[in-house]
Chain A
Amino acid sequence: MTVETNLKEFFTAYLVEMGEYLVAANTQLLALEASLRAGGANPRAVRETFRALHTMKGLSAMVGVEPIVGVAHRLEEFLRDYDKRGTKPPLASIDVLLRGVRTIELCIEELGSGSEPHPIPDNLFRDLEAIEPSGQSLEAPPPALSLAPDLVRKLAPFELAQLTQAEQSGQRALRADFCPSPERAAAGLSIATVRERVAKVAEIVKILPLSVPVSPDAPGGLAFALLLVTSESDAAIADAIGVPATTLSALCTPSADAGAALDVPLPAEDRQEPVRDGGAPQRSSLRVDVARLDDVMERLSALIVTRFRMARAVATLEAAGANTAEVTAILGETARQLRDLRAAVVGVRMVPVADLLERVPLLVRGLRRQTNRQVRLELVNGNAELDKSVSERLFPAIVHLVRNAVDHAIETPDERLRRGKPQEGLLRIVCASRSNNRLDVSVEDDGRGIDAEAVARRAGRPAPQSASELLDLLCVAGFSTRQVANTTSGRGMGMEIVKRIVVGELGGELELETAWGAGTKFTLRVPLTLSIVDAFLFECRAQRFVVPVSTVEEIVHVDPDEIVYGPRANDRGPAVGVIARRGRSIPIVMLRELFNWGAAEASPKAIVVKRAGAALAFGVDRMLGQQEVVVRPIEDPLIRLPGVTGATDLGDGKPTLVLDLIAFSEVLSAGRHRAESPS
């Protein structure tokens, strides 16, 4: 039994690990393709792809997945030659290699869903064999490397190539020497820390240990020559190593003197194995099942609820006349500690946005071929991070938008030329975190834009007056998949899904900007984390509700006499009034009326939210305060309603509804739509 469980756990770990190497292989192959297209070589990408394949072969052999072992082995063999000789593979091979990686990916997907992997299509191997080696050998050592020949001999062809080709990619190849000494060690500089520090400012091609005459600078008679490729300044590199910038030497300049001066002959008897090249700095990390983090979060949530209960009990005691000063102080401290703990736990769950988007280049590449469009992809990740669960939910929405942009928005190369646009379309994805714990992801193209009137005609609705109305129209269930996508310039395939993910599941916002003929930009505004949020508490007909602070623009005092009610379009639905606010008119709805809970009391407070730039106020009976709440999702279809995102426990053991007023405002405007439409 135990053995079986262990195997199962091991197998899960295997699938996860394979997933990571697959991503690495894809990324490296795409980088290689980009270099080859630009006429250059990318020996490092060849090397990394080779390594990823080699590791996948090993892992798969361990769990006995023979089909993957076979494919990985064949791909690896193919790349091995190029890696050994330091030559570049032909451009045509990238396709076949990507197909091979995809084959492995399919096997992993099948294994993950519990089925047997399909046999490998034989044409894959045939196609691989059909590719002629390109033969553009880089074997002859390039001329301009100012490095002693015995050091050159220690470098693998791909390492040499990397140094000599640094200039092509706008970088420089440098040599820096580091001599370990007790003083430097005391200052925290050892070869290990130097390697870590240098890896941040340069790519370490090789570290060669050298034996040097004992001197005050090199008391151990040992030096390390670091061969680097970098785009940073000399000063930055020298600083990382802790040596004066003047001791650095360029490896690829015509002036050989500087390099020669530093060359130190290496006595034969002192030859050692080269130190393994550093690559990325080694950070100690741990792979953790997300379910375990969820469990931690769940327990923390329970703790926060317990604190609420304690606070209530203390309030009761205080009301009964007890002296609670000390307990209150402790309670305050617990609140702070819980907040810190929460921040720590939330931090553990954060993943870089870059991870979210790393699969996009491959997606775009596939779409390019399917649709015969020329597309340049620009990814701007920033260094934002977001919760793993948010990231996972968000990705399908981005896939939909990317697909729409390439499929429907960006014109064919001919059409683009006719319209005076560059032949190559631009797809730009930008991620930026905003101050209030939200992330903006925009997917922008310079394609033909959305023809609002065509969309309206298809939907049988009046032409939308604004981008947000157009967006509403695009997001209507089942709108375009059947009616629009194949006939007009409309997009919207899957827009309903995008909206459901962004607005429904994540409680975010979706925005659209489009200009006919010039392009379209979708902005997805989502919270960075789920589950615990800062919220306002309010009361409506003696029932308490909470609303996340991040969705509220402001809370205003409203004098009931100031609310102006115009003529009502029909007698259905709640009455919508208007209030004046800083020189602008804002529609206001009493929440009681919206809920059909009878007429509102004189309502002194209103919560203002913004949907697509337009403000809307909701009248409530009373504001009760602000606190952190743990949001539990409401999943059952009987109680899943637009506007109700979840429930929370304020410490009384009873659930309190968490409202999304922005979604309510949407329902209201949908209601108005209906009233206006001719049907």
Chain B
Amino acid sequence: MTSLYVGFVVAGTEYALAASDVLELEAFSGATEVPSTLPHVEGIVAVRGKVMPVLDLRTLFGHERVAPTRDTRVLVTRRGARVVALRVDSAREVLKLEPSQFQSAPALAAHEAAAYVSSVCMLGQRLLLILALSRLLGEEDEHHDDEQRRLIPNSSATGPHALPSRGDR
């Protein structure tokens, strides 16, 4: 069974996400900043009338944020009811990958961003890192949820529970 993946580049490394997670690819010219969010939340954008957050994968993967270029793209991804845009340096290809090409990612275990990578794919000489969308969106890690509630960034010492928690349902 071959599956479709969307390939893209972040800070010189090739990554891919399952095509079933990606709704569309859009050019990117800047987001509206939302104060007091996590560092990798670049802000919000509207795509076809729908407002969604943009995550800068460069920042999330530990690189410096750069100004958008003509190649910069956002991948509009969907997970359950959430729609989130991911900013990448460039994105062009849709890849057909065979299960035999996948390997688990033990070599990355020590890497700080290892949690985001679910497997590695060999494509001839190319190495593709396959990302797990749920982890990019912070869904398997409760700390993200707590942190995003902090409105005043450096007030964390007294704990997140003192704030009205609008984020949880």
**Are A670 and B167 in contact, CB atoms less than 8 angstroms apart?**
no
Please give the distance in Å from A301's CB to the nearest CB on chain B. 8
Q: Does A655 contact B (CB under 8 A)?
A: yes
Contacts of B106 in A (CB 8 A): none
- Indicate whether A521 reaches chain B with its CB closer than 8 angstroms: no
Residues of B near A649 (CB, < 8 A) are 46, 49
Assess the A639–B35 pair: CB atoms within 8 A.
Answer: no
Q: Are B162 and A654 in contact (CB under 8 A)?
A: no
For the complex, is B82 an interface residue (Cβ under 8 Å from A)? Answer: yes
A294 to B155, CA, bound (A): 40
> Is there contact, CB below 8 Å, between A639 and B152?
no
Query: Complex: how many Å from CA A573 to CA B158?
Result: 12
Who on chain A is nearest to B150 by CB?
A641
CB distance from A509 to the nearest CB of B (A): 14
Residues A573 and B165 in contact, CB atoms below 8 Å apart: no
Q: Does A499 contact B (CB under 8 A)?
A: yes
* B44/A639 in contact, CB under 8 A: yes
B164–A638 touching, CB < 8 Å: no
Q: Does B145 contact A (CB under 8 A)?
A: yes
Give the A interface residue count (CB, 8 A): 46
Q: Is A666 an interface residue (CB 8 A)?
A: yes
One digit per residue, 1 when the CB lies within 8 angstroms of any chain B CB and 0 when it does not, for chain A 407-437 equals: 0000000000000000000000000000000
Whether B34 contacts A639 by the Cβ 8 Å rule is yes
B157: CB under 8 A from chain A? yes
Cβ contacts under 8 Å, B34 to chain A: 639, 641, 644, 657
Question: Are A638 and B36 interface neighbours, CB within 8 A?
Answer: no
Annotate A630-645 by CB proximity to B: 1 below 8 A, 0 otherwise. 0011111111111110
In the complex, the chain B residue whose C-beta lies closest to that of A643 is B151
Residue of B44, B55, B152 touching A596 (CB-CB under 8 A) = B152
Asked if B164 and A632 make an inter-chain contact with CB atoms under 8 angstroms apart, the answer reads no
Pair B152/A637 contact, Cβ less than 8 Å: no
Query: Does B24 count as interface, using CB distance less than 8 angstroms?
Result: no
| Complex contact A637–B148 (CB within 8 A) | yes
CA distance A500 to B81 in the complex (A): 21
State which of A504, A639, A657 has its C-beta within 8 Å of the C-beta of B164: A504
* Residue B120, interface by CB 8 Å: no
The interface residues of chain A lying within 8 Å CB-to-CB of B158 are 674, 679
CB distance from B71 to the nearest CB of A (A): 20
A667 and B37 contact, Cβ closer than 8 Å, known pairs A632-B51, A654-B46: no
Interface membership of B84, Cβ < 8 A: yes
Enumerate B1-48 residues with CB–CB distance to A below 8 Å. Answer: 30-38, 41, 44-46
Interface residue? A369 (CB, 8 A): no
A568-619 with Cβ < 8 A to chain B: 572-574, 594-597
Q: Is A653 positioned at the interface, with any CB of B under 8 Å from its CB?
A: yes
CB distance from B95 to the nearest CB of A (A): 28
Ranked 8 nearest A-B pairs via Cβ: A595-B35, A647-B51, A674-B158, A639-B53, A638-B53, A504-B166, A655-B46, A637-B167
Interface residues of chain A, those whose CB is within 8 Å of chain B, are: 298, 302, 475, 477, 499-500, 503-504, 543, 572-574, 594-597, 632-644, 646-647, 649, 653-657, 663-664, 666-667, 670-671, 673-674, 679
Known: A573-B155, A636-B84. 8 other contacts (CB 8 A): A477-B164, A543-B32, A572-B155, A594-B35, A636-B82, A663-B164, A671-B152, A671-B162
- A-B CB contact pairs (8 Å), 29 listed: A499-B164, A500-B166, A503-B164, A504-B166, A543-B33, A572-B152, A594-B152, A595-B35, A595-B36, A633-B51, A634-B44, A634-B51, A636-B53, A636-B84, A638-B37, A638-B41, A638-B84, A638-B138, A639-B53, A641-B149, A641-B166, A641-B167, A642-B163, A643-B151, A644-B34, A654-B46, A655-B44, A655-B45, A667-B152
